[in-house]
Amino acid sequence: MHDLLMIDGLQYSNWSPEIFQQMQAGGLSAVHATIAYHENARETLSRLGEWNRRFETWPELIRPVRTASDIRLAHEEGRVGIFFGFQNCSPIEDDIALVEVFRQLGVFVMQLTYNNQSLLASGCYEREDNGISRFGRQVIAEMNRVGMLIDMSHSAERSTLEAIELSSRPVIISHANPASFHAAKRNKSDAVLRGIAASGGLLGFSTYPFHLKGASQCSLESFCDMVARTADLMGVAHIGIGTDLCQAQPLAVLEWMRNGRWSKDKDYGEGSKDNANWPAPLQWFRDSRDFGNIAQGLRARGFAEQDVANIMGLNWLRLLETATTAQA
């Protein structure tokens, strides 16, 4: 068993026993698995059903995370705990009651938007950022009540800052990087990062090459320097890892993420046809087996061992333990 309790704050890989074995070999104690991008409620229930079958088929590799304490059990057992999240609000459709229903079914995290304008907020690719809608205000309050984390990874600036202001509980960016490091549309301003920290929330650093300076050529040293500068801005207690690993996925999945059912034209993410396909992986992070390389890089950058442990997983764990319980 690996000594470090390590959590990846976002993956959407092509799930298989080989992928789960890689997670286990990399020492991961838990992974936040995306189960919806543009799916409606009925489709999302089927995704949950698929995970139930995976838990039944490969119990020696993975276990469901029903409460945050299950992550500690997974670590002790040498299995990988899986907790669920939505990268969009489409599964709740226009029904606020579905927030609690999905939380009861094990969904810990929901993004208010995925790049576009949603019923709740504006996405980071919209020309106008209209902030949080009337429905969004109600959903934020309901998410706070039932213990579902508000994730603003794909949301626009005003919407993100308003969500932080409106939420009585921590708000997270599960997978993104500072815009000061690389000016991708999805990366976040210092104002947003300070707001996330002030809320008690967390930024999960992404290893997705399009969100890194130098793209696939970004070095581990450069990545860890970004982490160090962000720790100075936010505090070590408010940073973690959210790799955004989408391993072994076909191009059709990337197109589903970007296009869903809303567009007849292909959306190229950051606006360039150079981004039309999956990027080449980082040399130091090809899959979950390389997760420990990040810890090694942080040590080399000068982080104390306790800070490394916090960034690699304990910050995520403490947040999940305190922010995903229902309020009375």
Mean pLDDT, residues 17-43: 98
Range 237-247 burial, b when 16+ CB lie within 10 A, else e: bbbbbbbbbbb
Q: What is the C-alpha separation between 179 and 131, in angstroms, rounded?
A: 20
The rounded distance, in Å, linking the Cα atoms of 239 and 311 is 6
Q: For the chain, how many structural domains are there in total?
A: 1
What counts of helices (H) and strands (E) characterise the chain? 12, 9
Residue 266 reports pLDDT greater than 90 = no
Asked whether residue 328 is assigned to any structural domain, the reply reads no
For residues 41-60, average pLDDT: 98
User: Mean pLDDT across the chain, nearest whole number?
Assistant: 95
* Res 1: pLDDT: 43
Please classify residue 249 by burial: count the beta carbons closer than 10 Å to its beta carbon, then call 0-12 exposed, 13-18 middle and 19+ buried: middle
Mean pLDDT to the nearest integer, 186-200 = 98
Asked whether residue 107 is assigned to any structural domain, the reply reads yes
- Cβ neighbours around 16 below 10 Å, total: 13
- For 223-240, the pLDDT digits (tens) are 999 999 999 999 999 999
In this model, does residue 161 exceed pLDDT 50?
yes
- Label residue 53 by pLDDT band (50, 70, 90): very high
Asked if 116 and 158 count as a contact pair (C-beta separation under 8 A), the reply is no
Residue 305 lies in a domain: yes
Distance CA 12, CA 32 (A): 9
Residue 212 has what DSSP assignment? S
- Give the pLDDT of residue 273: 62
Quote the pTM value.
Answer: 0.96
Rounded Cα gap, residues 311 and 18, in angstroms: 26
Higher per-residue confidence, 2 vs 71: 71
Which residues span the domain enclosing 264? 6-323
How many residues in the chain? 328
- In-domain check, residue 165: yes
Kindly tell me the burial class for residue 128, based on how many C-beta atoms sit within 10 Å of its own C-beta (0-12, 13-18, 19 or more). exposed
Smallest Cα–Cα separation from 134: which of 74, 94, 182?
A: 94
Q: What is the largest CA-CA distance in the chain?
A: 50
Phi, psi of 156 (to 5 degrees): -80, 170
Nearest CA to 41 out of 108, 85, 109, 102 is that of 102
For residue 28, being part of any structural domain is answered with yes
Position 315 in a domain: yes
Q: What is the pLDDT of residues 89-137, one digit of tens each?
A: 999 999 999 999 999 999 999 999 999 999 999 999 999 999 999 999 9
CATH for 101: 3.20.20.140
